[in-house]
Structure 1
Amino acid sequence: MTTKRYCYACDLKDNAQLIAAYKAYHAEGKAWPEITKSIKDAGIVDMQIYLTGNRMFMIMEVDETFNPEEKAKMDANNPKVQEWERLMWKYQQELPWAKKGEKWIALEQIFQL
């Protein structure tokens, strides 16, 4: 199986209590099963989120079936994903250079060894 990597960044609100709550939602086994199913159904074979301060980095490994536009359509038509996104938006904030309402911003790869 051939995979491709996508990397994104998003900020959390700079509030220790909100960050702790966000981390609790993402602790092992705590993410809603409908959310993890929607991730896998889109062709995402691995997803990891890292945090430093209030900035997060998400790394996704996807298979050949993954299409970012199709994933966005699937999410828009999934009420449980929309509920999760509304809930997470209470903790997240746009990066300073993001478009209005844009959460996760694709990272530009600038080096590879």
Structure 2
Amino acid sequence: MKLNRLCYACDLINDAGLIEEYETYHQKIWPEIEKSILEAGIADMEIYRCGNRLFMITETSADFDPEVKKQMDLDNPKVQEWENLMWNYQQAIPFAHEGEKWIPMKRIFKL
């Protein structure tokens, strides 16, 4: 099965204690969150951190639609609870629009 790779960026609040808590939550995400990710067509997901900048790589099915995932998340109370909790640690990157969190990244090079 052909997978598509999508990459996103987000920032954390630049506080060592909060960053440590954020990483702890991601050592074992809630089962409902994992289920929602997989049900949306995301086959794999990794998050990397450099300072307070996060970089997320997703491998998605060919028919994955970010807008459908967004609506699924809005309709899922447990996902909303998780997202609200994560906003205690995250902040929008400087050029994000109001309400944007994970910003799609543009690939500029591939070997």
Matched with 1:67 is 65
How many angstroms does 1:65 deviate by?
Answer: 3.2
Q: Secondary structure of 2:63's match?
A: coil
Matched with 2:18 is 18
TM-score, L = length of structure 1: 0.97
Between the two proteins, what is the percent identity of the paired residues?
59
Task: Return the letter of the residue paired with 2:3.
Answer: T
Q: Secondary structure of 1:50's match?
A: strand
How many angstroms does 1:68 deviate by?
Answer: 0.5
Alignment of 1:1-113 (within 5 A): 1-27=1-27, 30-113=28-111
Q: Name structure 2 gaps, 5 residues minimum.
A: none
Q: Name structure 1 gaps, 5 residues minimum.
A: none
- Describe the superposition over 1:46-88 as per-residue Cα deviations: whole angstroms up to 9, x where unpaired: 0000001000000000012311110001000000000000000
RMSD: 0.6
How many angstroms does 1:105 deviate by?
Answer: 0.5
TM-score, L = length of structure 2: 0.98
How many angstroms does 1:101 deviate by?
Answer: 1.3
How many angstroms does 1:18 deviate by?
Answer: 0.2
